[in-house]
Structure 1
Amino acid sequence: MGIYDEHLDRNAANHQPLTPLTYLSRAAQVFPDRIAIIHGALRRTYRDFYARSRQLASALQQREVGRGDTVAAMLSNTPAMLEAHHGVPMAGAVLLSINTRLDADIIAFQLDHAEAKVVIVDREFAGVMAEALAKAKVTPIVVDYDDPDFPEDAPAQKGDPIGSLEYERLIAEGDPDFAWAMPKDEWDAISLNYTSGTTGNPKGAVYHHRGAALMGYANIVAAEMTGHPVYLWTLPMFHCNGWCFPWTLAIQAGTHVCLRWVRAKAMYDAIADHGVTHLCGAPIVMATLINADDGDKRDFSHTVTFNTAAAPPPQSVLAGMVEAGFAVTHLYGLTETYGPAVVNAWKAEWDALDAAARAAQKARQGVRYPALEDLAVMDAKTMEKVPADGETIGEVMFRGNIVMRGYLKNPEASAEAFKGGWFHSGDLGVCHEDGYVELKDRAKDIIISGGENISSIEVENALYLHPAVQTAAVVAKRDEKWGETPLAFIELKPGRTASAEELLAHCREKLARFKCPKEIRFVDLPKTSTGKIQKYVLRKMADD
């Protein structure tokens, strides 16, 4: 032992577990009257945001929900979802944010696998949740959320209440001065996010307080959120906990502008009326903005930062965004890395490049996030880094504090993901001479459509359930609106017939709508001598 190892121990005065929950308490203390949340006509201050989050935590604890319990939320980008991100972990519980586009079977699977004790559900999703609860083995307390800003001309309808309790009544039962407890350990779980459906190994990525806290600071740096940020919620909060931005904003006491549906006029109105400075989303959100009708657009004098992930945006979209007043930052990450863990950190000298060269730079995924300790392109067999030559392909791997704890109840999958002391992304890419990573393919054939991951295997399995299908192969097809969409190649059984329309209708019965193929082609599938489908050939055919 050296001199710095003696009499310098950790204690309550010099060491506390990292958690993003302290950001909200500080914002409420320093800026109690600043507007924290805008939702329609609602204006909620940080004082009230903090008090209501504590009320939620208090009410949950009164119902014996505590450390390690799961509280599921199937909510749109509304104030209740922001309160759940704070109030649930303030009770010591773990938040499961359910994708609002999923079908009843997958929702039931998630509720059972997570052993949900409470479900908070927006009435828009009451029907599918009621169906899921009927199929699930767990019997959680069901809380209905009735959005007061739900418009009469909404593209969806409210369902009838299905719970035993209404959300505002639950909040009213809680103590606004509730003395919530810090996590016992920063390694404690704060949230659970699923990456797959009911088939195969369950993949519930578990986040910890430390990672969520560090992501808060990293988001501030990567998105250059200086001063008083005003953040528009175009990214679903159920997606990787909204890339941890529900916790991030409180660091700067920024303002959340809720948006229930991504529509061009609503986005332009929010930017112009509230001075939105930042928003995130898939390329489809950018396309919605730049392709909007002139009557839906609004002028604004400031530059808005748009953080986008998924497939690299086309050059035409990037040019359109710049012309419309947006500065685009390209990000990359996975559910297992709390969302974005790689950022295309732009360098001023690249501005002098021609349009094609700038687009090539923009298409690269980038370098590690400020909170990530290491990012590398590795040979998965030797676990050695590949040469930084922009040509040698390897697997993209991560190491650091913004990598998940592991997969819930799945030690085998966790061990496989962390083999060799690195998180294996399953994505294939190259490393350029300047250290910037660029993806080249997805080892597991994941299709990224509208920012959501679609497993080609899951779609193929649904197609195989049709009696006329002999062989099915699904690949990604480039799409100007969605980034990518599923394209299915089909071989029919001898003597059987089926139309593309019939197969599409079949898929809609088996899958969530966004997972269904947008096109079906009948072909003789290319195969190897051993009968394996050559998907690389199909990918070339996809854009023909």
Structure 2
Amino acid sequence: METYIRCCRLASALSKRGIGKGDTVSVMAPNIPAIFEAHFGVLMTGAVLNTLNIRMEAETLANIFEHAETKVLLTDRESSPQIKVALSKVKRDILVIDIDDPETDSGEYLGMLEYEAFLSEGDPKFEAVLPEDDWQAVSLNYTSGTTGIPKGVVYHTRGAYLLATGNVLAWEMPHRPVYLWTLPMFHCNGWCFPWTITMLGGTHVCLRKVTAKNIYNSIAEHHVTHFCGAPIVMNMISNAPKEEQRELPHRVEIMTAAAPPPPTVIAQMEEAGFNVTHVYGLTEVYGPAVVCEWQEAWNEKDKTTQAQLKGRQGVRYHVLEGLTVANPETLEPVPADGETMGEVLMQGNIVMKGYFKNPKATAQAFAGGWFHSGDIGVIHPDGYIELKDRSKDIIISGGENISSVEIENVLYQQEDILEAAVVARPDEKWGEVPFAFVSLKTGCSLNEQKVIEFCRTKLPGYKIPKYVVFCELPKTSTGKIRKSILREQAKKL
């Protein structure tokens, strides 16, 4: 009841400042109560919620404020350095509200009011302004931007409602789960889980700093039952130092997506007491829209095979109407042979409304009546899809298409490797060749020749990385490795 009242106060305070249907309210914050409350309070006014990636630089933020036509900004003090610069570049007037979270003591105040003072202006009995129709926009999410300028993805009421419900069905969730916020709420509105968990009468455990120690402590102290995270989070958990780990009070459910998870990492998590559910989606489909639905017959498989099967993307969510892998030009589905590659295409009510103020990009994305994901995959005989790469990440060597994901999965089998990314490097003879970037587990050592020799035992010659570099891999805030940066580095090395 207390949270509901706070959301009503937020909605009322915004309404008193003239915020209503179609207005944009931006939020710059990690996983703290204020950003959770915004997922309800902002929508209760009929306004559009725009959650911001906390790792975005000032120039991009300024562009978003202008493009989104932001009227109000709720911002955590810790983000004040880049927000201050961003606001100095913006020509429009923005009401800035500072969030003074007790778990941080850094940053300055930039706005007219502090968040709690702003809430005190609101009426706890505020009556929510309901959407006029299912097509009304509820949120504006900018793509994570591993390449190029982020685009504004518009979510509509029906899509948000359906995906929030679809999460329950796909994950077979019970009433009153205890959910740990490791997945950023600014990423696809936390895959719609602010609404999913609330709908189930669950408990939200906010986690400002996502570390293995904090995750283990939260699970032990709050009896967490569910959480979401990219493969990088699973990697962090499974490779945490023994002194940071704690005994799990029960088997914990984790839903993972973003980059295809290496089967090795899935197996490590399962052994540690976590049950991994693998899903797949994009910002443009509200987060997860495809799930690797577990089959009873797979229980008889060995653990390695089970992890490989769980690494596939799977079948459509109940609330996604269409899913196929097809030729992107002709829209002809590829054979279900697990080998012929095509583009993953989607249709239905959990596909975005479009790109905000970008009709050209919207038309391109929906060419032929299907949403074009840009992901390259195959369909297995059982109907499950499996990603092989992003279209821009396929390596074409000597006329052969090479999946960078396939090579990465082999690299993850080498016990000293923590993370791996493979990109194309221009080559005079072959056109392109595989170039591997890897980071090692703490205390481990490895050299280029040993990595290449290991790959030679697992891959045909043309798929073996021709170069290997050891370094920390650049990532987006959602855990995706920024291959665009690595491609540029590979060209120079």
Give how far 1:124 is off. Answer: 0.6
Unaligned runs of 5+ in 1: 1-46, 151-156, 458-471, 482-503, 526-544
What does the per-residue CA deviation read over 1:480-513, in whole Å, with 9 as the maximum and x for residues that have no partner?
78xxxxxxxxxxxxxxxxxxxxxx9xx99xxxx9
Indicate conservation of the 8 Å contact 2:267/2:307, yes or no.
Answer: no
Give how far 1:198 is off. Answer: 12
Q: From the superposition, tell whether residues 522 and 391 of structure 1 become closer, same or farther in structure 2 (CA, over 3 Å).
A: closer
SS at match of 1:242: helix
Tell me which residue corresponds to 1:324.
272
1:370 pairs with 2:347:
no
Tell me which residue corresponds to 2:241.
293
Q: Which amino acid aligns with 2:191?
A: W
Tell me which residue corresponds to 1:38.
none
CA distance in 2, matches of 1:384, 1:432: 16
What does the per-residue CA deviation read over 1:121-148, in whole Å, with 9 as the maximum and x for residues that have no partner?
0001011001111112222100000002
CA distance in 2, matches of 1:300, 1:311: 26
Tell me which residue corresponds to 1:75.
29
Tell me which residue corresponds to 1:343.
291
Q: From the superposition, tell whether residues 320 and 163 of structure 1 become closer, same or farther in structure 2 (CA, over 3 Å).
A: same
Per mean C-alpha deviation after superposition, the further-off stretch among 284-293 and 62-71 is 284-293
Aligned partner (choices 172, 177, 181) of residue 125 of structure 2: 177
Aligned partner (choices 22, 38, 42) of residue 88 of structure 1: 42
Give how far 1:307 is off. Answer: 0.6
Q: Which amino acid aligns with 2:138?
A: I
1:105 pairs with 2:53:
no
Tell me which residue corresponds to 2:330.
382
Q: From the superposition, tell whether residues 79 and 323 of structure 1 become closer, same or farther in structure 2 (CA, over 3 Å).
A: same
Indicate conservation of the 8 Å contact 2:379/2:386, yes or no.
Answer: yes
CA distance in 2, matches of 1:392, 1:341: 22
CA distance in 1, matches of 2:330, 2:119: 54
Per mean C-alpha deviation after superposition, the further-off stretch among 350-359 and 334-343 is 350-359
Aligned partner (choices 139, 161, 172) of residue 109 of structure 2: 161
1:309 pairs with 2:232:
no
Aligned partner (choices 138, 160, 170) of residue 92 of structure 2: 138
Give how far 1:356 is off. Answer: 3.3
Alignment of 1:113-132 (within 5 A): 113-132=67-86
Tell me which residue corresponds to 1:264.
212
Indicate conservation of the 8 Å contact 2:175/2:201, yes or no.
Answer: no
Q: From the superposition, tell whether residues 522 and 389 of structure 1 become closer, same or farther in structure 2 (CA, over 3 Å).
A: closer
State the superposition RMSD in angstroms: 3.1
SS at match of 1:444: helix
CA distance in 2, matches of 1:212, 1:474: 40
Indicate conservation of the 8 Å contact 1:106/1:198, yes or no.
Answer: no
Q: Which amino acid aligns with 1:311?
A: A
Tell me which residue corresponds to 2:345.
397
Tell me which residue corresponds to 2:232.
284
Q: From the superposition, tell whether residues 281 and 418 of structure 1 become closer, same or farther in structure 2 (CA, over 3 Å).
A: same
CA distance in 1, matches of 2:281, 2:106: 34
Give how far 1:293 is off. Answer: 2.1
CA distance in 1, matches of 2:364, 2:485: 30
Tell me which residue corresponds to 2:301.
353
Q: From the superposition, tell whether residues 201 and 300 of structure 1 become closer, same or farther in structure 2 (CA, over 3 Å).
A: closer
What does the per-residue CA deviation read over 1:16-48, in whole Å, with 9 as the maximum and x for residues that have no partner?
xxxxxxxxxxxxxxxxxxxxxxxxxxxxxxx01
Q: From the superposition, tell whether residues 120 and 473 of structure 1 become closer, same or farther in structure 2 (CA, over 3 Å).
A: farther
What does the per-residue CA deviation read over 1:218-242, in whole Å, with 9 as the maximum and x for residues that have no partner?
1112222113200000101111110
CA distance in 2, matches of 1:160, 1:299: 39
SS at match of 2:321: strand
Indicate conservation of the 8 Å contact 2:264/2:307, yes or no.
Answer: no
What does the per-residue CA deviation read over 1:45-84, in whole Å, with 9 as the maximum and x for residues that have no partner?
xx01111111111110111111000000001100001100
CA distance in 2, matches of 1:69, 1:474: 47
TM-score by length of 2: 0.81
1:207 pairs with 2:155:
yes
Tell me which residue corresponds to 1:419.
367
Q: Which amino acid aligns with 1:347?
A: Q
Indicate conservation of the 8 Å contact 1:109/1:198, yes or no.
Answer: no
Q: Which amino acid aligns with 1:101?
A: R
Per mean C-alpha deviation after superposition, the further-off stretch among 223-232 and 206-215 is 223-232
CA distance in 1, matches of 2:328, 2:487: 34
Tell me which residue corresponds to 1:232.
180
Indicate conservation of the 8 Å contact 1:304/1:326, yes or no.
Answer: yes
Aligned partner (choices 36, 43, 65) of residue 19 of structure 2: 65
Aligned partner (choices 190, 193, 215) of residue 242 of structure 1: 190
Tell me which residue corresponds to 2:458.
none
Per mean C-alpha deviation after superposition, the further-off stretch among 322-331 and 77-86 is 322-331
CA distance in 2, matches of 1:254, 1:296: 27
Q: From the superposition, tell whether residues 257 and 524 of structure 1 become closer, same or farther in structure 2 (CA, over 3 Å).
A: closer
Q: From the superposition, tell whether residues 358 and 196 of structure 1 become closer, same or farther in structure 2 (CA, over 3 Å).
A: closer
Q: From the superposition, tell whether residues 68 and 52 of structure 1 become closer, same or farther in structure 2 (CA, over 3 Å).
A: same
CA distance in 2, matches of 1:118, 1:198: 27
Tell me which residue corresponds to 1:147.
101
Indicate conservation of the 8 Å contact 1:101/1:514, yes or no.
Answer: no
Q: From the superposition, tell whether residues 444 and 520 of structure 1 become closer, same or farther in structure 2 (CA, over 3 Å).
A: closer
CA distance in 1, matches of 2:433, 2:55: 23
Q: From the superposition, tell whether residues 272 and 437 of structure 1 become closer, same or farther in structure 2 (CA, over 3 Å).
A: same
Q: Which amino acid aligns with 2:118?
A: L
Unaligned runs of 5+ in 2: 395-403, 409-420, 425-431, 442-471
CA distance in 2, matches of 1:242, 1:474: 34
Indicate conservation of the 8 Å contact 1:202/1:410, yes or no.
Answer: no
Tell me which residue corresponds to 1:49.
3
CA distance in 2, matches of 1:378, 1:442: 14
What does the per-residue CA deviation read over 1:173-224, in whole Å, with 9 as the maximum and x for residues that have no partner?
0011001111011110010111165996761100011111111111112222
Indicate conservation of the 8 Å contact 1:373/1:400, yes or no.
Answer: yes
